[in-house]
Amino acid sequence: MSQPKFLSGDKAGIDEFLDRFDVFLFDCDGVLWSGDHMFEKVPETLEMLRSKGKRLVFVTNNSTKSRADYKKKFDKLGIPAEVDEVFGSSYSAAVYIARIINLPAPKNKVFVMGESGIEQELEAEGVPYIGGTDPALRRDIEPEDFTNIANGSLLDPNVGIVLSGLDFHMNYLKSAIGFQYVQRGAQYLATNIDSTLPMAHSFFPGAGASGAALEKAAGKTPLSFGKPSQAMMDAIEGKFKLNRSRTCMIGDRLNTDIQFGIDGKLGGTLAVLTGVSKKEDFLAEGAETVPSAYVNAISDLLG
């Protein structure tokens, strides 16, 4: 495998790299911002790319936010972006459920284990759902619940799919209900299965962790839509009609972002060192996931 090219400060190298692509898929957290802190000169960098006619797509695994929520975050930080440029794992899952699985009504309800981002995207695609942010499920399990879950009286017979995502309100009751639906044959999907969530300069349980109670009980891995799942790449390609060889994935995580680009046979990948992965991770002898190029920070693309 060839060594990744270090582009920071290499004006000619940057120009040559950018010329190879028409589309840039951007990971957001760790590339454009960290939590609520935007990195330096992000708007200028995106503006430069747009001025060169590049198409930008913001690809995020965070299922708690809908594309509309994400647009608000961009606005708040002063980063120009359109809703249609955002591609999140909740949207990806909703599109898959509505257009690919497309269960016949009324047996097409989704039991949501996650936050409102998932609900909004299902709603936008016209998919009926229960669970999610329903306050009735944000409580402790009671002794009678075990019987009522087991005998089905607490279940909706029209649920055909369980969709799990990052859930800050995860609890035993929802896991038990989700598990019961899966035992009864519901399809088991996840927006994404990231094990951790970078927050406040540390790590917190990610969507794969908050949904792990169901995954462990069910003894099977859900079909998931976040990076590096190629279900998400296929959905992005379908929506944006991109030419993979002229597309570059930019991200901070080797095992999600960069792997996503490599598995998707994109023309290139660019690692940014403002997030999780360190350059030692891909420069090391025998590194599994190696980007085409890397920069210290995204604004280094300004040259």
Binding site residues, a copy of itself, CB under 8 A? 138, 140-141, 146-147, 149-151, 167-172, 175-176, 179-180, 183, 195-196, 199-206, 208-210, 212-217, 219
Q: Report d(CA 148, CA 109) in Å as an integer.
A: 20
Known catalytic membership, residue 134: no
Question: Quick one: 133 or 158, whose CB is closer to a copy of itself?
Answer: 133
**What one-letter code names the amino acid at 158?**
N
Per-residue CA distances from 41 to 47, 146, 291, 302 (Å) = 10, 54, 23, 9
Nearer to a copy of itself, 45 or 90 (CB): 90
CA distances to 6, 56, 68 from 35, rounded to whole Å, are 26, 21, 18
Each as own residue / partner, the long-range contacts of residues 134-140 (CB below 8 Å, 24 or more positions apart, any chain) are 137/171, 137/173, 137/174, 137/177, 138/169, 138/171, 139/171, 139/173, 140/171, 140/172, 140/173
Nearer to a copy of itself, 140 or 285 (CB): 140
What residues form the annotated binding site?
27, 29, 227, 252
CB of 292 to a copy of itself, least distance (A): 27
Which residue in 29, 167, 257, 281 is the catalytic one? 29
Min separation Cβ 113 and a copy of itself, Å: 12
What minimum distance in Å lies between the beta carbon of 193 and a copy of itself? Answer: 8
29 an active-site residue? yes
**Cα-to-chain-centroid distance, residue 119:** 15
**Distance (Å, whole) CA 232 – CA 97:** 13
Known binding residues for Mg(2+) are 27, 29, 252
Choose, from 27, 69, 194, 300, the residue flagged as catalytic.
27
- Mark the binding-site residues for substrate, compressed into ranges: 227
* Residue whose entry in the numeric block shows the structure tokens 């046979």: 265
CB of 133 to a copy of itself, least distance (A): 11
Active site residues: 27, 29
